Amino acid sequence: MQAAARQDSLAPLLAKAASVLAAPAAAASFPRPVIEAVVRLLAVRVDLNRAPLDGKALKEAVLKAGVLSAPAPSQGNARSALLALRSAALGFLGGEVEPVAPVGSRPPPPLKGEPPRAPEPRLALPQLGEEPAETVRQLLGHTDSALSRLKLLQHASSPPDARPGAAALASPELRVEIPLQLGAETGILQLLVERDGRRKATPRERGWRMRFALNFSATGEVGAEIALFGRAANIGLWAAEPATAAALEAMLPELAPALARRGLEVTGLHVRRGAPRRQSAAPGQLLDSAR
């Protein structure tokens, strides 16, 4: 419950961190541990300005997201980068201090069974505080909020509750959030991966389902749902903006052959106009079960 009250997207923290490095004169006034932690944190972003997101880059980004307990790439993951920035900020500020609470709209907490929805992108670069200590307090507040959200993502990705009377959930799922940089904007790719076909007799008969959503000002919010069984793929795309939906529809004749060249048998491919609605949350998902 405390994490749900404090949580916020990683995007505002990344935008604030980028603003620190964008002003060399101002950055010189920050202690070296803070600058090093900021650089380490910004390394978790995927820069779409350099190259499109392919399978290898996506796999690395999932490992760097900090939700999985699997070994991360050599440069670490988001969780270790957030903890390093928090430690550096507290060291500069002189111990436990009250961080600046985030202001403005925040995305709803991640919950099991909810379709991915992407928050609005953040423009770089936000205003820095008048003094380095003020900026570091702002960084600390955003860091605590991002750590709280990461905790909720790990909770949403944990195995289904098997207690008697617990809400029945479709299947185990993995939820990760991957920061993307496009132009001057920072967007968060919401990615959900789960097993599909839980009513099948054996695990071998089950497929996979992946859903994602992202949001940039040039496109609005867009997303996809992909059901994969062996080499057979059923793909549904959606876009909140009518113009983007129309552009996706125009690309469908090119998409199916491109997927076929990758060895996939496309059994369904369509575009839906409008974002999926949020479902009613099952009760008790954010309650502490300890007695």
Q: Give me the count of residues in the chain.
A: 291
- Per-residue pLDDT, 202: 54
Residue 184 lies in a domain: yes
- Per-residue pLDDT, 204: 57
Residue 77 lies in a domain: yes
CA distances from 21 to 16, 25, 48 (A): 9, 9, 19
Q: Which DSSP helix (H) or strand (E) runs through 79?
A: helix 78-93
Q: Which DSSP helix (H) or strand (E) runs through 265?
A: strand 265-273
Domain count, the chain: 1
Residue 193 lies in a domain: yes
Closest-CA residue to 13 (of 149, 111, 118): 149
Helix (H, G, I), strand (E, B) or coil at 133: helix
Residue 180 lies in a domain: yes
Domain span at residue 189 reads 2-159+168-218
- CB within 8 A of 112, min separation 6: which ones? 156, 160, 169, 173, 282, 285
Residue 136 lies in a domain: yes
Residue 243 lies in a domain: no
Q: What is the pLDDT along the chain (291 residues), one digit of tens a residue?
A: 788 888 999 988 998 898 888 877 777 888 999 999 999 999 999 999 998 888 899 999 999 999 987 655 556 799 999 999 999 999 999 876 776 666 667 888 888 878 888 888 877 566 777 788 889 999 999 999 999 999 999 998 887 664 444 444 456 789 999 999 998 888 999 999 998 755 555 555 569 999 999 999 999 999 999 999 989 999 999 999 999 999 999 999 999 899 999 899 999 999 999 988 766 555 555 554 433
- Per-residue pLDDT, 122: 74
b/e per residue, 69-85, with b = 16+ CB within 10 A? Answer: eeebeeebbbbbbbebb
